[in-house]
Amino acid sequence: MSLAWHHLRSEPARLPLLVPRLMPGPVRSAARAAASRSGALPRAYALWDQGRREEAREVLLSAARGASPRRVGRLVSAALAAGDADTARELVERIPSGSHRTAAEYRTALATGRAVPASPSVSPDRHGFTLTRGAPTRPDDTVNAQRPAETRGEGWRVATDPGRPGAGVRVLHLVTNALPHTNAGYTQRTHRIAVAQQEAGMDVHVATRAGYPLTKGVLDPRTLVRVDGIPYHRLLPWTAPGDHAEELRAGLRLGSELVEALRPDVLHAASNHHNARLALELGRRYGIPVVYEVRGFLEESWLSRDPSRSVEDAFYQAERASETECMLAADLVVTLGEAMRADIEARGVPRERLLVVPNAVDVSFLDPLPSGAGVREGLGIGQEEFVVGTTTSCFGYEGLEVLLEAVALMRGQGEPAHALIVGDGPELATLRDRAERLGLTGAAHFTGRVPADRVRHHHAALDVFAVPRLDERVCRLVTPLKPVEAMAGGLPVVASDLPALREIVEPGVTGELIPAGESARLADVLTKLAYSREKRTSYGQAGQERVGANRTWTEAVYRYNQAYRVLIRKMSGPGQNP
């Protein structure tokens, strides 16, 4: 209730966009049709729900002609709620000088990142040591050092098993969201790390951000949930945090109780800086080493979603500064690839406090794919027709329109090609509309989000896995997980020729790289692969072998364990033997 009241006060214009997502399909269609026959705002919301953004823009601009300042201000709020900053700015220009215009300008500045509210701060260099400072360590100190069994709090005992390299280490992960309610690359990475660490003998716990999952509208008030034996703790205050400062206070209060009960040896926070800040404050309070795992640069993702945004914008600057501050304060920074490592090192984080642990897969992903015949049949795709697709979140920078355009070009040349996009996101409605306009009805398939245990069935329905990311800063830096999972199943990968993707795909060996944004070039490469099953098989086998050799969570946990041991030894001080 407090969450609903918070949203109603802070972003009432977003409610008409969110409510339809909770409706069953027929009800949603009926509501959309009714709204289309109503006033300007309901019509605009109905068009946004269908992905018809240009038409919605025209409805708002028409409604603003001759309207009162208060009325135009409401139109500005609606445009901002839909993420249409250009229309919002144009509407603001139509409001005469005065209080209504000032308020609309400020709302627009906040929504577009031209202004930001104040945020709390942390002090850098919290512990004043790095992984390599002090006396050198023996190999056994960093890889396989064993810890005597000891009681850690009422009812807790750390078991020591000499055959399990992680035995004796208790780690608490601090993350934004998690399974079972959020299934994404972020949550899958968290879970796979946790499962592999548990199998290596670590005592693993995961805590989600204060208020989750209630703050996401999921009515699940349990404070502890186990998924595959991994305990997921939820920090649930009685009322929803109203802002990030309240969230941090609630996290500290509830997180302190959890730390005192678990007595972890390491706090391992994952992006973004809100999780890192909580870990750093808890680490300072209880003398626990802090690992900050940078899985992405969210300021870069924000930048990529609107071409009018700039690295000079206040939001970008504030987010980047907060991220850098937390990186400098952590005892160890983990990231996903060499391009990301170089960016972090350029911010001033010493190389000896940086560790690359790339996206990986569970060894079960290396098993033969299940049959994809059922997926193809359900979508109306013939067993011999060529299918290219991806599993992803539907954001603009993923370049999925480029994929649709390439398939349209292939079909125009007589190739019976299909596009299969598995996933959800803010651009899904726009992509469906784009596919229809390209004449891909019946040839472009959008499944929405599917259960995790069905992802490999959809992999099996593909002939080629595509990663057509655009040439955005975030895409040049951040290495995705999804193509690694596809390679593990033996799928060839065609990706944009960007630094982060070059770390995954070797052209001519495991797949192909193409210039970002070039649908004609993508269509050409896909057509050649459609005619060469032998090449597709060769690429798939080579990719699978590389993933098996270098990108399993078993290998990743070995690196984590080595780093944890060094941190624990350093925190214990000279002469200690944790």
Residue 412 burial by Cβ neighbours in a 10 Å radius (0-12, 13-18, 19+): exposed
pLDDT along the chain (578 residues), means of 10: 64 70 75 78 83 86 89 86 85 88 83 72 44 30 30 30 64 97 89 95 97 88 96 94 89 97 97 96 96 94 84 92 96 95 96 94 92 95 95 92 98 96 91 95 94 91 97 91 95 97 96 97 97 96 94 92 93 58
Question: According to the model, what pLDDT value does residue 142 have?
Answer: 30
Rounded to 5 degrees, what are φ and ψ at 423? 145, 175
- Cβ contacts of 9 within 8 Å, gap of 6 or more: none
Tokens of residue 489, six digits: 């199943």
Interatomic CA distance for residues 147 and 144, integer angstroms: 10
Interatomic CA distance for residues 57 and 17, integer angstroms: 15
Question: According to the model, what pLDDT value does residue 468 have?
Answer: 97
The reply to whether omega before 180 is within 30° of 0 (cis) is yes
Question: β-pairing, 203-208 with 493-496?
Answer: unpaired
pTM score, whole prediction: 0.79
Q: Return the amino acid letter for 55.
A: E
Question: According to the model, what pLDDT value does residue 2 have?
Answer: 66
Tokens of residue 314, six digits: 């206040």
Question: According to the model, what pLDDT value does residue 118 have?
Answer: 62
Interatomic CA distance for residues 153 and 160, integer angstroms: 17
Question: β-pairing, 230-234 with 266-270?
Answer: unpaired
Return the closest-CA partner of residue 197 out of 239, 238, 225, 169. 169
